[in-house]
Amino acid sequence: MASETSTLPTLEDALTLGLTREEYELVCEKQGRPPNQLELAMYSLLWSEHCAYKHSRKLLRTLPTEGPHVVMGPGENAGAVDVGGGLACAFKVESHNHPSAVEPFQGAATGVGGILRDIFAIGARPIAVLDSLRFGEPSGARARYLLDGAVSGIGHYGNSIGVPTVGGEVYFEQPYEQNCLVNAMALGLAPRDELMSSAAAGHGNLLVLFGASTGRDGIGGASVLASAELAGADGDGGEGADMRPTVQVGDPFAEKKLLECSLELLERGLLVSLQDLGAAGLTSSASEMASKGGVGMDIDVAEVPLREPHMEPFEVMVSESQERMLCVIEPGKLDAVLAVCEKWEVLGAAIGRVTGTQRMRVLVGGELVGDMAVSALVDECPLYDLHPLKPTGPLYKPPAASLSLDATPREMLLALLACPNLASRRPLFEQYDAIVQSRTVRRPEQADAAVLALHPAPGGADGPVPALAVSIDGNGRRVAADPYRGTLAAVLECASNLACVGAEPLGTTNNLNFGNPEKGHIAWQLTESVRGLGDACRALDVPIVGGNVSLYNEGATGPIYPTPVIGMVGRLPDARRAGRLGFAAAGDEIALVGLLSPSLAASELAKLCGQQLPDGLEEVDIDAVRAAQNAVREAVRRGILASAHDIAEGGLAVALAECCLAGGVGASVRLGDDFWQAIGPAAALFGEGPGGFLVSGERDALRGLAEGVPVRAIGTVGGDQLRIEISETIAGQSVAMSVDLNQLDGAHGALGELFA
């Protein structure tokens, strides 16, 4: 076998590529000799944290993955659930954190491109994108640079390819200053019986690479950057500038052609299996296809269409150039496959064959330059046990105070509505096309979850219109205070959002964003968070169908907040009855549904007041929360609610203000001491905790909302002000406030000043 270089790489080279001494020695053992340059590069990427999940795989095995609606679970490019009518919904969330911290526009854009390829790789047409973003405080120059770049990148890619961005979230916290988070979720639809696997099969079948040409852009990008802490990067060059060549460059117009080409190849039955090229490029896609199919592969890199001349074999194999797919086909169908590629103006080339050797062999014009066992590359990376160590003191500095606890309730409400984490996201989502494809029933800030119609609607134009609902949620500050209960609450929040539009949750995806798991306190955060994720999904009967893990999210100032991002998909029988969050009509009664236990611990108000994170959160009654969700969901489906909104960040007062602003109408509310006894006005108005819903509707309709679930009438819709009164027996004094809608709107629009 020819070696790529006359001198074999050394241990120092392996360490530079991210392997440990012990891992390098294990590679030598599996090879029966020291690896050459190509082999070492392939091992280093496939044994990286990003590809191998070597610090998290054991934990992930504890999560529930089976359920009555699951069609495709973890292990494929995306998970899928049955949504009725012979259709399946494919969905997944992934991160592009480290590339986005280096080059935010391309990092975020290619993050969208990558998650879309995961969807159409299993044969589903993408119908929506959502994003979950984290940055430092927006007053900082770096945070603003990253925010502008990431939002522009998401909008550019999604708008150009014609897939609507229908929802998402963004938070601003100091721990994300150096290491931002850019998580993208996508979902698509496909006939249930026509989903495609990525497992290679058929000895002698051909490997065809199609899409864009292969260049040096992105070499070692996602796989290397996502497996190491960032030393630091700034928006004007500096240390980050040297890392920018590792960030992939995307072309949404090329991806649109690739999407249509892939779906036509699948529709015509020309493919045996299909896989997208993402992190680690050909190395990852080909090896994983071979591993899933229990076969081997021979790849001749001389047959790969190149964008740049004189690329070394290892460069071809690890390039992360975007907009590429790898498929397995029967030899007799090559001409038909290439004809479809030509129709859609994408490059296509046969670059290898499926073999029965169970080895990954790389050739150059027929000359062997790399030979590795598929099992060694993919399945035998060492997995590590975590060593959790609960911290004995605070891990994060308290935020700078911008509000006094002595402020009046009115001042607190306006400050919360204006704070970066609660202000209207309109300046962001207006950069995205939310209605392309004409499925969008509920857009951002119209409801707690996005709603997308399933077409065509059965029963004719006058019949019910079945629809999907989707939500994405996470609160890193609350998880930092209590990884178990904070994660559990994030799952409940996602399900509550679906309940508010009338949707039953079918499946869950997740993206676990954490710091360095080799540190005891981070290992503890991750372990407790996964435990909370599993317990919540089991309690709600909403299995995990796929996801992603992003570790080593740390900068010079320390780790990010532990941030599990939860995505959930549900189904509702009739989009025409999808819930809205805005109050609808004067005279409607306002009621609280559920067992609400508000607390200021780790709340937005606590942040504004500069308080240190607490050591733990209050226990959550999951059964009570689920009962409230069921009650709200059924009420929305029956059409007896004019509005439904779960009480989340900012508490009841902020939820009331959001309902007023979304509906363009005021409200008068009185909180009696029978419910709020002894917790104090601030906690009553601004305390947070899962389980409470704010609904409105006709008085008689709300009376029998749900048996066994607390329902308390608290006020009436109407007027041009939000009036809130708390009975005086709570704190020994009367608390009342009144705020005009235009003042609420002015505070809520504070984020727009950043984009003026």
Q: Catalytic site residues?
A: 50, 96
Residue 621: burial class (beta carbons within 10 Å; 0-12, 13-18, 19+)? middle
Give Rg (Cα) of the chain.
26
Q: What whole-number distance in Å separates Cα of residue 28 and Cα of residue 24?
A: 6
> For residue 413, what is the enclosing H or E element?
helix 409-418
635: left (phi over 0), alpha (psi -120 to 50) or beta: alpha
Helices (H) and strands (E) in the chain, counts: 27, 28
d(CA 378, CA 54): 11
Query: Is there a cis peptide before residue 456, judged by omega within 30 degrees of 0?
Result: yes
How far is Cα 490 from Cα 51, in angstroms, rounded to an integer?
A: 26
Nearest CA to 539 out of 59, 57, 56, 67 is that of: 67
- What is the 3-class SS of 556-607, one letter each residue? CCEECCCEEEEEEEEEECCHHHCCCCCCCCCCCEEEEECCCCCECCCCHHHH
| DSSP, res 521 | H
Q: Which amino acid is at 88?
A: A
Sequence-ordered list of residues with C-beta below 8 angstroms from that of 75, at least 6 positions apart, any chain:
292
Tell me the residue length of the chain.
756
Burial letters 420-453, b for 16+ CB under 10 A, else e: bbbbbbebbbebbbbebbebbbbbbbbbbbbbbb
φ and ψ of 467, to 5 deg: -150, 165
At how many degrees (to 10) do helices 37-46 and 21-31 cross? 120
H or E element, residue 608 = helix 604-608
Q: How far is CA 566 from its chain centroid?
A: 6
**Burial class, 522, CB count within 10 angstroms (exposed 0-12 / middle 13-18 / buried 19+):** buried
CA angle at 403 for the pair 401 and 409, rounded to the nearest 5°: 150
* Spatial contact of 689 and 580, defined as CB atoms under 8 Å apart: no
Residue 488, sorted as left (phi over 0), alpha (psi -120 to 50) or beta, turns out to be: alpha
Q: Which residues pair with 72 in a beta bridge?
A: 80
Which residue's entry shows tokens 């993919």?
378
Structure tokens at 64: 């529930």
Q: End-to-end CA distance of the chain: give it in Å, rounded.
A: 62
